[in-house]
A = this chain, B = another copy of it.
Amino acid sequence: MRTRSGVEPDEAAGLRADAVRNRNRILEVARKLFAERGLDVPMAAVARHAGVGVATLYRRFPTRESLITEVFADQFAACVSVVDDALADPDPWRGFCTVIERVCAMQAVDRGFSAAVVAAFPGAFDVEQERDRALRGFAELTRRAKENGRLRADFAQDDLTLLLMANCGIIAATAETAPAASRRLVAYLLDGLRAVHAVPAKPLPPPVPLSLHEVFGSPRP
């Protein structure tokens, strides 16, 4: 798993020593606040908790999104490697389940990450790139799992998004029980996603094309 700890490689290059220190404190604090309270923590609160003026925060991260994408870069990278691991599993169905279980679990312990996954900023180069890579990998995984006969054939790519949105809903409405609640939802869903050879239930309603960032598209006239 690729990580960002150690000497900051790229973004912090050329910064003065105190600036790097502050930058790290900001990221650390933001990570914690986002995890606890979600993505709409006031910028001023982040600055205050980091023991830093707002100006410093804004100089390092001109927009809230830039802060968010940097904060969750590790987690997004982790998602990619979750998919990679799963692709290495000889049992594609087990791999498929693992991906969903692990990503949902990551969402459950971090309100901010949960929301970030669903919002999934267009324009954040890094994130977009990694997301696409993860999605391609996941597509391959579903292909194999269907071929293998364990995943129902009418599963659509966009159903992953559906699932993550649903999980996000549970996490948003839930406090310390989020992980347990999420696990239970996931268990039901995975059960619904199995190709059962018993009586097939009614045919599935048609798949829905879902972009991971149409959250921003809600009309506010």
Contacts and interface: CB of A to CB of B under 8 A. Distances in A.
A91 to B, nearest CB: 14
Main secondary structure of the interface of A (DSSP, over half): helix
A184 interface: yes
Interface in A155-203: 159, 162-163, 165-170, 172-175, 177, 180-181, 183-185, 187-194, 196-198, 201-202
A6 interface: no
Nearest to A212: B173
A208 interface: yes
Given A162-B170, A169-B172, 10 more contacts: A118-B173, A165-B169, A165-B181, A169-B170, A172-B215, A175-B218, A177-B208, A184-B206, A188-B189, A194-B201
Contacts of A159: 184, 188
Contact of A198 (B162, B172, B173, B197): B197
A44 interface: no
A28 interface: no
A71 to B, nearest CB: 19
A168 B175 CA distance: 16
Contact of A170 (B166, B175, B180, B192): B166
What is the total number of copies of this protein in its complex?
Answer: 2
Nearest to A201: B191
B166 A180 contact: no
Contacts of A192: 187-193
Contact of A180 (B169, B184, B208): B208
A210 interface: yes
A172 B204 CA distance: 22
Contacts of A174: 165, 210, 214
A209 interface: yes
A196 B193 contact: no
A123 interface: no
A207 interface: yes
